Amino acid sequence: MTAAQESRTRDIEANPYRPWPARITSITDLTDKEKLFELRIIDEDVREAFQFESGQFIELSIFGVGEAPVSISSAPSKQGFIELCIREAGDVTGAMHRKKCGDVVGLRGPYGRGFPFTEMKGHDVLLVAGGLGIAPLKSLINHIHDDRHEFGKVTILYGAKSPAEVLFRYQFDMWQHRDDFDLILTVDQPDETWTGETGLVTRLFDKIDVDPAITYGAICGPPVMYKYVIEEMRKKDMDVDRIYVSFERRMKCGIGKCGHCGVGHQYTCIDGPVFNYWEAMNLQGAI
């Protein structure tokens, strides 16, 4: 490292609450409520220092409005850019939805513990997402995609409320035609155009084969979903410590100080947001 880089690293670490300016380089409308933003950190040193794992999150910062935790949707293998899938739900996400391409927002991170990507290598992976839960899982799916030869069978089960609410439709349409991803989509409320599965995502477990000896599970969805999906995975004899879940809590500071994201005896922001099921069942009130 040069002296200038070292001093910049010190700057970055000097104040962990300081967000770094990032430019919105692309905005894609996904549904009525969700948009996919691609961001590029403006400072080159900060950009290069920003290395993350699938499952980690950032604090999105819009000065004058506030901060909100957002999971990263792109894969770590995509360098230099960060994708965030954002639902318009609160003040910060609402303000983000009004931003245009080229606007500058702030971000800090990456924070938390992601999915055990390296440990998962050499194994089958079963990914189960509900609704917006696909956002952090997409990072993992893309990462597996980029190192596809290192994994066994990859199965993705994704449930959405209606066809209009299916996120990343374009990507799934592409994958549905591939032999190396088993992708099953289901919706609760089909319309006349829907040709896929209907009902809750748990119903899809009848349609898949799982070899529990070599399979890792990854789950993300609305809070009510976890219990039922885990039940299905346990029926397939998957090990409790190979089932990974990602939790959404109020990660206000992201760095284990503000206390808002407490779950059981842990903090979601630094101890999670990804936990294995053994850890999660030891967290009171988690599932």
Partner 1 sequence: MFFRVIDKANLPDLVKGLTTEYEVVAPVAKGDTFVFAPVTDPGDIRLDYDTTLLPPKKYFFPPEETLMRFRVADNEVLDDDVFAAPRVLFGLHPCDINALQLMDNVFKGRYEDPYYLRRREQTLLIGVSCTPSDTCFCNVWETNEVHWGFDVFLTDLGDRYFASCRTVKGAEILDRFVANRQVDDTDTADFQRVVHAFRDAFDSTVDTTQLPVLLDAKFDSPIWDEFGDRCLSCGACSMVCPTCYCFNVEDRLEPDQKSGVRVRTWDSCQFKEFAAVAHGQNFRESRASRVKYRYYHKQWGYLSKFERVLCVGCGRCARACPAGINPVNVIAALQTGEVR
Is residue 15 at the binding interface for partner 1, with CB under 8 A as the rule? yes
285's CB contacts (< 8 A; 6+ apart) are 263, 264
Q: Exactly one of 122, 241, 259, 278 binds partner 1 (CB under 8 A); which one?
A: 259
**Given the rule CB under 8 A, which of 13-21, 117-125, 173-181, 210-218 is the region that contacts partner 1?**
13-21
Please give the Cα distance from 224 to 248 (Å, whole number): 12
**Given the rule CB under 8 A, which of 45-53, 114-122, 152-160, 244-252 is the region that contacts partner 1?**
244-252
Asked if residue 112 lies in contact with residue 53, where contact means CB atoms within 8 angstroms, the answer is no
Is residue 116 at the binding interface for partner 1, with CB under 8 A as the rule? no
Is residue 113 at the binding interface for partner 1, with CB under 8 A as the rule? no
Let me know the angle formed at the C-alpha of 232 by 184 and 281, rounded to the nearest 5 degrees.
125
Place of tokens 């199965």: 155
* Alpha-helix runs per DSSP H in the chain: 3-14, 44-49, 91-97, 117-120, 134-146, 169-175, 225-235, 268-271, 277-281
Q: How far is the CB of 62 from partner 1 (least distance, A)?
A: 7
Asked if residue 92 lies in contact with residue 65, where contact means CB atoms within 8 angstroms, the answer is yes
Is residue 257 at the binding interface for partner 1, with CB under 8 A as the rule? yes
Is residue 64 at the binding interface for partner 1, with CB under 8 A as the rule? yes
**Given the rule CB under 8 A, which of 12-20, 133-141, 159-167, 273-281 is the region that contacts partner 1?**
12-20
Q: How far is the CB of 145 from partner 1 (least distance, A)?
A: 28
Q: Exactly one of 40, 148, 227, 250 binds partner 1 (CB under 8 A); which one?
A: 250
Is residue 93 at the binding interface for partner 1, with CB under 8 A as the rule? yes
Q: Exactly one of 80, 90, 122, 199 binds partner 1 (CB under 8 A); which one?
A: 90
41's CB contacts (< 8 A; 6+ apart) are 20, 21, 22, 47, 50, 82, 107
E-strand ranges in the chain read 20-29, 34-41, 57-62, 66-71, 82-87, 104-111, 124-130, 154-160, 182-187, 197-198, 215-220, 243-246, 262-263, 266-267, 274-276
Please give the Cα distance from 238 to 218 (Å, whole number): 12
Q: How far is the CB of 263 from partner 1 (least distance, A)?
A: 7
Residues in region 171-230 near partner 1 by CB under 8 A: 223
CB of 215 or CB of 266, closer to partner 1:
266
Is residue 16 at the binding interface for partner 1, with CB under 8 A as the rule? yes
Q: How far is the CB of 17 from partner 1 (least distance, A)?
A: 5
Asked if residue 286 lies in contact with residue 264, where contact means CB atoms within 8 angstroms, the answer is yes
Q: Which residues bind partner 1 (CB under 8 A)?
A: 13-19, 21, 61-68, 87, 89-90, 93, 104-106, 223, 248-250, 252-253, 255-266, 270, 284-285
